[in-house]
């Protein structure tokens, strides 16, 4: 997912604080910070500009550079 340091990468903890959601121009994924490994499949969304988790942590709203918005669960 991250092949080099990318100054556009963004991150936020999930509501329970057990995972970190990471996104950049390559897409979006989740990691367990204690284990430093991917915890969920990579979402095949390119050019992610913004991402927001639902309060329950079950859905993600993703906006891309083309102005498209998608919801993933």
pLDDT the model gives residue 52: 92
pLDDT the model gives residue 5: 52
The tens digit of pLDDT for each residue in 26-66 reads 888 888 877 767 666 677 788 888 899 998 888 999 998 89
Name the nearest CA neighbour of 40 among 56, 23, 21. Answer: 21
Q: 12 in helix, strand or coil?
A: strand
The structure tokens listed for 47 are: 């050019």
For the chain, helix (H) and strand (E) counts, in that order, are 0, 7
pLDDT of 3 over the 80 cut: no
Torsion of CA 64, 32, 40, 21, to 10 degrees: -10
């Amino acid at each position: 997912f991250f092949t080099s340091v990318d100054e556009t990468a963004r991150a936020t903890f999930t509501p329970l604080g057990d995972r970190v959601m990471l996104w950049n121009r390559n897409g979006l994924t989740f990691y367990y910070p204690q284990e430093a490994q991917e915890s969920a499949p990579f979402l095949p969304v390119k050019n992610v500009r913004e991402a927001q988790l639902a309060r329950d942590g079950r859905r993600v709203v993703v906006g891309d550079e083309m102005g498209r918005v998608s919801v993933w669960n």
